[in-house]
Amino acid sequence: MNQSLPRWVDIGLIPLANVLLAFCAAGLIVLAIGADPFAAVKFMLAGALGNSEAIGYTLYYATNYIFTGLAVAVAFHAGLFNIGGEGQATLGGLGAGLAVLALDHTGSALVIVPTAILAAAIFGAAWAAIPAYLQAYRGSHIVITTIMFNFLASALMVYLMVNVLMAPGAVAPESRDFADTAALPLISDWLNALGFHVMESPLNLSLVFALVACALVWFLVWHTPWGYELRLMGFNATAALYAGANPRRIILLAMMLSGALAGFVGVNEILGVHHRLLLDFALGYGFGGIAVALMGRNHPVGIVFAGLLFGVLQQGGTELTFEMPQVTREMVVAIQGLVILFSGALALMSRPWFEWSYWFVGRKLAVRKAASA
Amino acid sequence: MNELFAILLPTLSGTLRLATPLMLCAMGGLFSERAGVIDVGLEGKMLAAAFASATIAWATQSGWLGLAGGIGVACVMALLHSLACITYRGNQVVSGVAINILASGLTMVFAVAWFHRGGQTPGLDTALRFMPVLFGQSLLVYVALAGVGATWWLVGRTRFGLRLRAAGEEPAALDAAGLSVAWVRYRALLITGVFTGIAGAYLSIAANANFSREMTAGQGYIALAALIFGKWRPLSAFAACLLFGLLDTLAIRLQGVSIGGVLVPVQLIQALPYILTITLLAGFIGRAVAPKAIGQPYEKAH
């Protein structure tokens, strides 16, 4: 039985059912460690959305997920699987940090911040461009090379932090603090200036930037000739070739765009929050982005919602540990894994159930119609 | 001469110790990949097995049951991978990534819930562990070496091996001969589960006395690199594992050592396995050609 289903079932109901399956599995895990899953959800929601500080943290985490989700999605549309988001985000942060360390005592914020953002994009794009070049021109598989580039990024970062960038007299491998001119404005400061009273949180201008990135990706991928070629290539590489597209150029550009988007995690973390270079600031976001992209069905709107959900999970999970000490916050990582499993790897599992139900309901309706006629 | 031995012997035995989990994972991965199923989930299976082995060995007070438990859990994860990749024809890389992330989250969730030690399991007595038995090496090291021989024989010299390679190169031919591609691949992935299970047990109940957070530390990925660097052939992959194990030993021994006034960058030595594999894959040193049907779900013609 392989019949076509109406669009609303195919792109609405089935993905929703897959995500629900993932969350049911997560609930069973919570039950297995002797906690009440419904109470856990209640604590998580309160911890993630209960007050203005919690909401700020939730949106700050969501910002990272939106960037990496977009990164994975852009590559996906070209038929490429970018597992290197982790490394590209690390390099993006390195780029932003180096730019600030070089400039922060010279110019004004209006020069430093845009330069640092550009540097994050360039470093992230360059780190993705090497695997892309190797795939396009040397035939090596992008999945394997991007995995290895994650480790290379981490080795490079450790080397630079420990041997070159570590501040004199520091106990941890961290650079000196940036000058205040290099910090992105906090949203809470703006809202307070406008007369809304909110508590301080790390949420910064990067969120606005992430939403702008969503709009740009939407325009680029769905409303330009280049985006059309990109999607055609992902849909049917042979057809793209016959239509006159240049696959090598598309692979290179798609991966560079993807890497630049992942690199913006560094903007949020380094310019927005930490205000110095450090290790492991991108930990988990590159892989989390895969879950976000799969759940958001590779569309910017879906990615914003999926990113928000993962922001809620991350912030709620942190708060949950205080209320229920037996549930650690790594539960969120497990949920990401389950979402990737059910929405990605097992995406076709539930389809036959829907095909059967659709056929069954359709037949019942037809019988009733015939009886009433 | 004696001095040379004093340096050489510890380096060699250290290499073997560090190469053991790589060998087991690489041989495990070889079965899966030669049967046509990409396995980036070696790391996750090994991590889950390490946790299961340490937990079960502690709970039952038996190292052997711990080993069996590790193998069991890794096989369950391998079955999950098979279900997604073979039965439901899902994306094999996505499934592998899911397994890695799931293992990374679940091991911590259960470790914290059951032991309240920040993700560690309780320490095991030496009586419960696979301690050195011969030439200062654990029994599981010899199991790994035997595993390399077994892989070479099974994949290259038996009827099952021929079918397994056919499933990875030309599954339609296997189908036409009246054999089930799915069944061959399921069995191959179960063998991957057994190998990665032993690898996990080696880490938590032989090389160490307990499980700790993320204790596989990317070795599953290094093993994948070794498998590719060895061009998906058992003996070459074995050699690659030894080479990568040696690099790891050197990275530890050269920590803070300077040669000719230049401090040896340890991170560079640690990154060498990846750099070598990337260079090989790009065709700059020889050529690594993957099994022809790797990554493609097989759809049986009706």
Q: What is the pLDDT of residue B1?
A: 61
Query: pLDDT tens across A10-61, in order?
Result: 777 888 888 889 889 989 999 998 888 898 889 989 989 988 899 999 999 9
Name every chain B residue with its beta carbon within 8 A of the beta carbon of A349. Answer: 88
Interface touch B85/A345, C-beta < 8 Å: yes
Residue B256 phi/psi, 5° resolution? 75, 5
Shortest Cα distance from B123 to chain A (angstroms)? 20
In the predicted model, what is the mean pLDDT of residues A301-313? 92
Per-residue pLDDT band at B268 (split at 50, 70, 90) = confident
The pLDDT tens digits of the residues spanning B164-219 come to 999 988 898 888 888 889 999 999 999 999 999 999 999 999 888 889 988 998 89
Query: What do you get for the CA distance between the two ends of chain B, in Å?
Result: 69
What's B34's domain CATH number?
1.10.3470
- The ipTM estimated for the assembled molecules is 0.88
Element housing A55 (H / E): helix A52-77
All residues of chain B having their beta carbon less than 8 Å from the beta carbon of residue A331 are 105, 109
B110 is a domain residue? yes
Per-residue pLDDT at B264 exceeds 80: no
> Which pLDDT does position A3 carry in this prediction?
59
Distances (CA, A) of A211 to A188, A271, B92, B264: 18, 17, 31, 44
Quick check: is B295 in a domain?
A: no
Is A138 within 8 Å of chain B by CB? yes
- Count up the domains in chain B and report the number: 1
Higher-confidence position of B151 and B274: B151
Interface check B114 vs A, CB under 8 A? yes
Beta bridge pairs of residue B137: B134
- For B91-102, write each residue's pLDDT tens digit: 888 899 899 999
Q: How far is A288 from chain B (nearest CA, A)?
A: 9
| Average pLDDT of chain B to the nearest whole number | 88
Nearest to B93 by CA among B106, B83, B84: B84
Q: What share of chain B is helix, strand, coil (3-state, %, to 5)?
A: 70, 5, 25
pLDDT digits (tens, 9 = 90+) for B6-30: 777 778 888 888 899 999 999 999 9
Rounded to whole angstroms, the Cα distance separating B82 from B37 reads 9
Is A311 in contact with B111 (CB distance < 8 Å)? no
In this prediction, residue B241 carries a pLDDT of: 92
C-beta atoms of B113 and A338 within 8 A: no
Tell me whether residue B46 is in a domain.
yes
Residue B46 belongs to what domain range?
A: 7-281
pLDDT at A337 over 70: yes
Chain B residues inside the 8 Å CB shell of A286: none
pLDDT in the model for residue B123:
82
What Cα–Cα distance (Å) separates residue A71 from each residue in A67, A125, A217, A295? Answer: 6, 11, 10, 14
- Tell me, yes or no, whether B302 lies in a domain: no
* Shortest CA distance from B272: residue in chain A: A152
A313/A52 Cα distance (integer angstroms): 16
Per-residue burial over A92-121, b if 16 or more Cβ lie within 10 Å, else e, is bbbbbbbbbbebbeeeeeeebbebbbebbb
What does the pLDDT look like over A68-126, one tens digit per residue? 999 999 999 998 999 999 999 999 999 999 999 988 888 788 888 899 999 999 999 99
Run of H or E including B202 = none
Q: What residues are paired with A186 via a beta bridge? A: A204
- Using the predicted structure, report yes or no on whether residue A2 has a pLDDT greater than 60: no
Residue B93 covered by a domain? yes
**Ramachandran assignment for B119, one of left (phi > 0), alpha (psi -120 to 50 degrees), beta (any other):** left
Q: Kindly state the tokens that stand for B191.
A: 């063998």
Contact B101, A332 (CB under 8 A): no
Query: Given a cut of 50, is residue B114 above it in pLDDT?
Result: yes
Cβ–Cβ contact B150 with A under 8 A:
no
Q: Mutate which of A72, A86, A144 to test chain B, going by most B C-beta atoms within 10 A?
A: A144
Give the tens place of pLDDT for each residue, A237-286.
Answer: 888 888 888 888 999 999 999 999 999 999 999 998 998 899 988 888 98
Burial of A364 (0-12, 13-18, 19+ CB in 10 A): exposed
pLDDT, tens digit, for every residue of B30-42? 999 999 999 999 9
Find the length of chain A: 373
The stretches of A81-235 forming alpha helices (DSSP H) are 85-103, 109-138, 142-160, 187-193, 206-223, 225-235
* Residues A206 and A264 sit within 8 Å (Cβ to Cβ): yes
- In chain B, the percentage of residues whose pLDDT exceeds 70 is 98
B168 vs B298: CA distance, rounded Å: 10
Task: Inform me whether the C-beta atom of residue A25 falls under 8 Å from chain B C-beta atoms.
Answer: no
